[in-house]
Chain A
């Protein structure tokens, strides 16, 4: 938490960070085909934030990642999620109206074992993305807030 870590750690973080984020978004986007989904992918991306915090210390990271922006993303994700539920309000709340409709994410899937097609599953894919945004922002805010507060409390104790 206090200050930067050694050069080895920083170099490795710089290399790995991008991969973790990409992998997280991959898990979010393929939630309806493979194990994973919005929550798991969001948690992976947030773990990249945690890695940055551990490596560079809170003060440096706060200049690059704005907590306010993250909390706006979080609210937006949840609002999107709630609104996707309203898409199917002609039947009921949370009715999956996009599935099998032919539009984006709307093509019907092959019944039985198949290699998987990204363009299926209707609102499930949309909701996965919304939840993914929410979770990555929420966990990011939690990690950032707690580490910033921990640093302040620690500093107070020293002085």
Chain B
């Protein structure tokens, strides 16, 4: 009963995503890159870091990284809580 609906949904999903891919701008030519050019120019001056990616990860978007560390922390606490009776 459910399988035909799933197959239809899957075909619809795949077609939808392919349309997105075909509509994208050509590969390798970013449409707008003001923000990234700013990072490349200013990372050494403002954050004094040679690695632009790291300067984004820990300085410009440092708050995201705090969230990222939190995700890992959450998963660890969750796993320890899950196995709290098993491990005893």
Contacts and interface: CB of A to CB of B under 8 A. Distances in A.
Interface of A: 31-35, 37, 39, 71, 74-75, 77-78, 81-82, 85, 93-94, 96, 99-100, 107-112, 114, 116, 120-124, 127-128, 131, 134-135, 138-139, 141-142, 145-146, 148-149, 152-153
Given A71-B76, A134-B69, A142-B75, A109 B54 contact: no
Nearest to A30: B51
A121 B80 CA distance: 36
A120 B69 contact: no
- Which of A93, A94, A111 lies at the interface centre, i.e. has the most chain B CB atoms within 10 A of its CB? A94
Contacts of B53: 35
Interface string B47-62: 1111101110111001
22 contacts: A32-B51, A32-B55, A34-B51, A71-B76, A71-B80, A74-B73, A78-B69, A94-B66, A100-B48, A109-B48, A110-B44, A124-B49, A127-B62, A127-B65, A128-B58, A131-B65, A138-B72, A138-B73, A145-B83, A145-B87, A146-B79, A148-B83
A25 to B, nearest CB: 16
Main secondary structure of the interface of B (DSSP, over half): helix
Given A78-B70, A142-B75, A153-B86, A96 B50 contact: no
B13 interface: no
